[in-house]
Amino acid sequence: MPPLIDVRDLKKTYQLGEVTVSALAGVTVSIERGSYVAIMGPSGSGKSTFMNLLGCLDRPTSGQYLLDSIPVEGLDRDHLAEIRNQKIGFIFQNFNLLPRMSALENVELPLLYQDHDTPDADDLAEHALMLVGLAHREHNFPAQLSGGEQQRVAIARAMINKPEIILADEPTGALDSRTSAEIMNIFERLNRTQGITIVLVTHSDEIATHADRIIGFRDGLVVSDAPVIHSRQTSEKVVAVLRVPVEVPQ
Amino acid sequence: MKKLRQSMRIAFRALTMNKLRSALTMLGIVIGVASVIATVAIGSGATQRIQDQIASIGSNIIIVIPGSTTTSGVRLGTGNAVTLSEADAKELPAQCPDVALAAPLVRGGAQVVYGNNNWATIIYGVTPDYLTIRELSVADGAEFTQQDVDGANKVAVLGKTVVDNLFGGADAIGQTIRIKNVPFAVVGILTPKGQSSQGQDQDDVILLPISTAKRKVIGINAANADAVNTIMMQAKSGTQIPAAQEEAQALLRQRHHLQTVEADDFTIRNLQELFAAQEASSSIMAIMLAAVASVSLVVGGIGIMNIMLISVRERTREIGLRQAIGAKTRDILTQFLVEAVTLSIAGGLVGIVLGIAASSVISRLAGWATAVGPGAVLLAVFFSGLVGIGFGYYPARKAAYLDPIEALRYE
């Protein structure tokens, strides 16, 4: 079976006036179905650009990107939108819930942009909320929910279209450590029990150790790529692994 | 369909979030539509009044008057010749297939006396067909008959103004009035017709049998005893007026033994021509008013565009999120277009109500006739929708083509 994500020599440059900035300088990564990957790196290392490309929110300047065997690097706006709708669930640091809609309506939102009708939208959304433990809050508005609850609504929203992959950009960045742990538990459950591929960006070593694999970025390149040894006592070793630069593919 | 309903729900929610702003935005359209409705109502009211006047004279009327004649080098004005005759009037409906009726008419003025009252009025000597052509009817009593004409009976049908001035409140039917010292029995009173388009009182008139009028009141023309002042014809229908006119012209030329080189010794006019000019000027006025009013509709549209642009900016992150979870260009475009059209149609509906109210106030205060037709209302709804689409398109397009990454990052 081919990998879910197969990225080859992906490059992205921006034109800032006269200057050409290279945000991604040729990244080759493949991510297997059902894996749980953490992406780390200092700001400006290209990890956000990489996530935007993975999420089909942006198109690369050059290189190849096969998502579920579909070459997506050349698709137009609306095709990319369709792929985002069908295959990708997004989790943002700031939740990005629509404030005027109830939790239930927020969760149903991706169904609105499907090509076909979903008559049982309410049931699906209720089920998704139940999975994140918020069945009783479905009629609350985002402002009436705590940060952790809002992020759980966002996860339910990401899950409703049964995506292949969840892309989470610092999902716990705005949460305290206890709520962060809850959110990480949900991710872990989704990954282990439902086999959903998760790629998450984080600054926290602690969060990163929940993943199976950690990819490090610097200056638009992958500088480390290593599996996590799953032993809770050895998280320091894992971090040590991170600091060892891997051979950079040219 | 589901999507449209969803878009409408989203639009409705967005608009009710900011009630004051939505109301102020709508106000531009409200004023625009209201002024269009009111001006169109005034315009079509004026047209309606002209049509009523045409109807008050009678429908499909063609008037034949004698032409000018030249006697010893002196050209007399139109209508002075004595070229038309009662015989002409009799032959016209018989020979012209498009002419329904023709009635000869002699005209004169006289002082009328009843008891201690007297009144100067216009005397028409006519046949019963005249009443049919002019669509006159008697409110009280009866019309005179062909027998009255044949027998030159001394009977009179009075207009309302004459009755009021001679009889006050008393019953006129059966009374005897004196016209030029000749006693006439009052047999009927005409249903009031009001003023003509020239401001003439159409009820200040006495109708006599043409034979009696000639012999006893107006006098017989020395040159031609059969002469009449006017022949009034009625075409069989409005569309047959031109044909009837041509047939009458041909027949009269033939009867008057005119050579091809000779000009007509009569003039044929139809009232349609007269009123067409009036109608044209009033509709030009209406179009100008409506044009001025539509300018305010355009201004209202610019208001919508302005607010929609602000709304798109405020909701940049929402747009970014919707794009991230799969909204296509068309989805975002529809969402904002529906919002703009909802604003403009809602404004349009309020404007229609306001416009109808305004035109009824105008017609009451200024005494102008106004008429709000369903056509004007439909047009107003259509145009306000068009304004919504027209001025909402640019902001909606702007929203639809936002870059999702930048939109998501927008603070």
CB B332, CB B14: distance < 8 Å = no
- List all residues of chain B from 311 to 330 with a beta carbon under 8 Å from chain A: 317-318, 320-330
Query: How high does pLDDT run on average in chain B?
Result: 85
Domain assignment present for residue B60? The answer is no
Instruction: Provide the residue type at A75 as one letter.
Output: L
Q: Is B321 exposed, middle or buried (0-12, 13-18, 19+ CB in 10 A)?
A: buried
Instruction: Provide the residue type at A172 as one letter.
Output: T
Q: Tens of pLDDT along B4-52? A: 787 888 888 888 888 898 999 999 899 989 988 888 888 888 777 777 7
- Say which DSSP state B312 is in: H
Q: What is the model's pLDDT at position B79? A: 52
To test the contact with chain B by mutation, choose from A14, A58, A75, A96 the residue with the greatest count of B C-beta atoms within 10 A, namely A96
Highest mean pLDDT among A174-183, B197-206, B394-403: B394-403
* B198 in the same domain as B117: yes
Calpha distance B170→B167 (Å, rounded): 5
Beta strand pairing status for B155-158 and B182-190?
parallel
Q: How far is A150 from chain B (nearest CA, A)?
A: 15
Q: Count the domains in chain B.
A: 2
Tokens 């942009």 found at: A113
Calpha distance A170→A202 (Å, rounded): 5
Domain boundary among B213, B232, B264: B264
Q: Tens of pLDDT along B117-126? A: 888 999 999 9
* Structural domain that includes position B221: 82-264
Calpha distance B361→B188 (Å, rounded): 40
Q: How far is A34 from chain B (nearest CA, A)?
A: 21
Domain assignment present for residue B67? The answer is no
Q: What is the model's pLDDT at position A240? A: 47
Question: What percent helix, strand, coil does chain A show, rounded to 5?
Answer: 35, 25, 35
Q: What is the model's pLDDT at position A149? A: 94
CB B105, CB B210: distance < 8 Å = yes
* Residue B65 banded pLDDT, cuts 50, 70, 90: confident
Whether the predicted pLDDT of B81 surpasses 70: no
Is B321 in Cβ contact with A78 (below 8 Å)? no
Is B17 in Cβ contact with A113 (below 8 Å)? no
Whether the predicted pLDDT of B159 surpasses 50: yes
For residue B230, give every residue at least 6 positions away whose Cβ sits within 8 Å of its Cβ, in sequence order, or none.
B63, B64, B65, B84, B104, B105, B107
Provide CATH code, domain A32-60+74-243: 3.40.50.300
Q: How many CB atoms lie within 10 A of CB A114?
A: 15
Calpha distance A158→A156 (Å, rounded): 5
Largest CA distance in chain B: 104
CB B329, CB A77: distance < 8 Å = yes
CB A131, CB A139: distance < 8 Å = no
Tokens of B9: 């729900």
Tokens of B269: 């006019």
Provide the residue count of chain A. 250
Calpha distance B266→A191 (Å, rounded): 105
Q: How far is A87 from chain B (nearest CA, A)?
A: 10
- Say which DSSP state B215 is in: I
* B250 in the same domain as B293: no
ipTM for this prediction:
0.89
Domain assignment present for residue B66? The answer is no
Q: What is the model's pLDDT at position A168? A: 94
* The model's pTM: 0.69
Angle at A99 between CA A144 and CA A139, to 5 degrees: 50
Q: What mean pLDDT do residues B216-225 have?
A: 77
Question: Residue A12 forms beta bridges with which residues?
Answer: A24
CB B106, CB B225: distance < 8 Å = no
Is the minimum CB–CB distance between B15 and chain A shorter than 8 Å? no
Is B322 in Cβ contact with A82 (below 8 Å)? no
Provide the residue count of chain B. 411
Q: What mean pLDDT do residues B292-311 have?
A: 89
Secondary structure (3-state) at B66: strand
Beta strand pairing status for B61-66 and B230-235?
antiparallel
Q: What is the model's pLDDT at position B186? A: 92
Question: Residue B230 forms beta bridges with which residues?
Answer: B105
Domain assignment present for residue B61? The answer is no
Is the minimum CB–CB distance between B5 and chain A shorter than 8 Å? no
Lowest mean pLDDT among B109-118, B338-347, B363-372: B363-372
Is A55 in Cβ contact with B324 (below 8 Å)? yes
What are φ and ψ of residue B266, in 5° steps? -155, 165
Is B323 in Cβ contact with A81 (below 8 Å)? yes
* Chain A residues with CB-CB distance to B327 below 8 A: 81, 112-113
* B360 in the same domain as B301: yes
Cα A154 versus chain centre, distance:
12
Angle at B195 between CA B52 and CA B285, to 5 degrees: 55
Residues of chain A with pLDDT under 70: 230-250
Domain assignment present for residue B58? The answer is no
Calpha distance B96→B242 (Å, rounded): 12
What are φ and ψ of residue B367, in 5° steps? 75, 20
Tokens 């004698």 found at: B66
- List all residues of chain A from 141 to 170 with a beta carbon under 8 Å from chain B: 157, 161
Domain boundary among B226, B243, B264: B264
- As a whole-number percent, the residues of chain B with pLDDT over 70 amount to 93
* B287 in the same domain as B179: no
Q: What mean pLDDT do residues B147-155 have?
A: 89
CB B270, CB B63: distance < 8 Å = yes
* B29 in the same domain as B136: no
Between the alpha carbon of residue A172 and those of residues A2, A103, A218, B207, the distances in Å are: 31, 19, 22, 102
Q: What mean pLDDT do residues B301-314 have?
A: 92
Q: What mean pLDDT do residues B87-114 have?
A: 89
Selection from B205, B179, B174, B175 nearest residue B192 by Cα: B205
Question: Residue B197 forms beta bridges with which residues?
Answer: none
Is B405 in Cβ contact with A57 (below 8 Å)? yes
Calpha distance B303→B292 (Å, rounded): 17
Question: Residue A90 forms beta bridges with which residues?
Answer: A167
Is A52 in Cβ contact with B2 (below 8 Å)? no
| Gap between the terminal Cα atoms of chain A | 26
Selection from B220, B265, B221 nearest residue B69 by Cα: B265
Domain assignment present for residue B329? The answer is yes
* Element (DSSP H or E) covering residue A121: helix A121-131
Please, how many CA atoms are within 13 Å of residue B133, restricted to the half-sphere of its CB? 24
Tokens 């008013």 found at: B289
Q: What is the model's pLDDT at position B216? A: 84
